[in-house]
Amino acid sequence: MKREQKRKKKRVKAVMTVFLVLVSVIAAAVLIVWNVFVVKKVVVEGNEFYSAQQIERMVLDDEYSWNSLYVYLKYRLLDEEDVPFVDMLTVTLDDPRTLRIHVYEKGILGSFYISSIGQNAYFDRDGFVVETSVEEIADVPRITGISCDEVVLYEKLPLREPGVLGGLLNLTQTLKKYELLPEEIHYEDNLEPTLSYGDIRVTMGALGHLPQKVARISAVLPQISGMIGTLHMETWTPDTTDIVFERAKTESTPSGEESPDGMEESGGEGEPGGDEGVETPRGEGESGGGGEPETPRGAGEPGAEGEPETPREAEEPQEAGESDAADTPGDGESF
């Protein structure tokens, strides 16, 4: 009987010992997790559309997110919420106090405004719609001049204009490679694209020799930074050497409008311009030579043969090739 009691006491003692050891281990683990796994630093990688601070706020979004181990297990074991323009977020631990967040964003190359839903449809390198949103993302070009009536998420863009999508994707991919994505890509009536970089427009023409064209644009744009005008690439080929930049006319005053000094610009010779430039006909209160009145000049004075004198405007037409010629409205520069 006494032996049986001793055995029971030993078993209870062993169980209690194991229990206390486990409790001690758990308590120590809790203390370590509580005091050591504290987020002190967050490293964000792969983000373009969102800032590092925005990504950090998205990940550390609840009351327990101060604990690095909790955040790590949360993103390891649970499905995270969808984040617009982001395919996936991964969270790893560099050390107990440092979280590393890698952002896999959707490869967006451009956007269309879809009036039927009042939102922008963003597409990727393959022409699939990856996001629709009322937000406008910086550094993502707007596509205008071509359109689609409606879009379906994760399906290809159903453009009205057949055959344009392939060229658009090739163009946006090449521009992104050279880090030259413009603010807008506008398709003219002939379905040739024009790129807009602030006050500079680049007319691309046909998309042959596209990589070489974009490389030349990359070299020329820094030289015309701050100017206003159009860079003509329509006829450029690898065999040509010059690229024409046509400056916009911004300083000329149209005929009939007031000049800066308040005077109306004269439209031709002999027209009044204030108090000067008016010729009084000789003969009105002023005699010349033998005292006979002289016929006013410009009123059809006969020449040597009795024929009327040709007006000066007709005699001296402006030479072709001047900067205000009809086919070249602005000053041109070659590169």
Q: Alpha helix locations (H) across the chain?
A: 2-35, 52-59, 68-77, 164-177, 210-220, 312-315
Q: What is the pLDDT of residue 250?
A: 66
Q: How far is CA 10 from CA 1, 16, 20, in A?
A: 14, 10, 15
Torsion from C-alpha of 23, 27, 29, 33, nearest 10 degrees: 150
CB 12 within 8 A of CB 72: no
Q: What is the average pLDDT across 173-199? A: 95
Q: Pairing state of beta strands 86-95 and 108-114?
A: unpaired
For residue 58, pLDDT over 80 is answered with yes
Q: What is the pLDDT of residue 332?
A: 65
User: Which of the residue ranges 5-14, 77-86, 260-269, 312-321 has the most confident prediction, judged by mean pLDDT?
Assistant: 77-86
For residue 231, pLDDT over 90 is answered with yes
Q: What is the pLDDT of residue 265?
A: 33
- Domains of the chain from N-terminus onward: 41-105 (3.10.20.310), 108-247 (3.40.50)
Structure tokens at 87: 């395919």
SS3 145: coil
> What digits encode the pLDDT tens for the residues 105-122?
888 999 999 999 999 999
CA distance 297 to 279: 9
Quickly tell me which residue has 């809790």 as its tokens.
30
**How many other CB atoms are found less than 10 A from the CB of residue 215?**
15
Q: What is the pLDDT of residue 32?
A: 78
Instruction: Judge if pTM exceeds 0.85.
Output: no
Torsion from C-alpha of 124, 128, 129, 135, nearest 10 degrees: 10
The DSSP annotation for 246-295 comes to EEPP-S---TTSBPTTSPBPPSSTT--BTTBSPPPPTTSS---TTSPPPP
Angle at 323 between CA 318 and CA 329, to 5 degrees: 110
Q: What is the pLDDT of residue 42?
A: 95
Q: What is the average pLDDT across 8-22? A: 80
> What digits encode the pLDDT tens for the residues 232-259?
999 898 887 688 999 988 644 344 444 3
The amino acid at residue 86 is: V
Q: What is the average pLDDT across 12-41? A: 83
Q: What is the average pLDDT across 321-332? A: 43
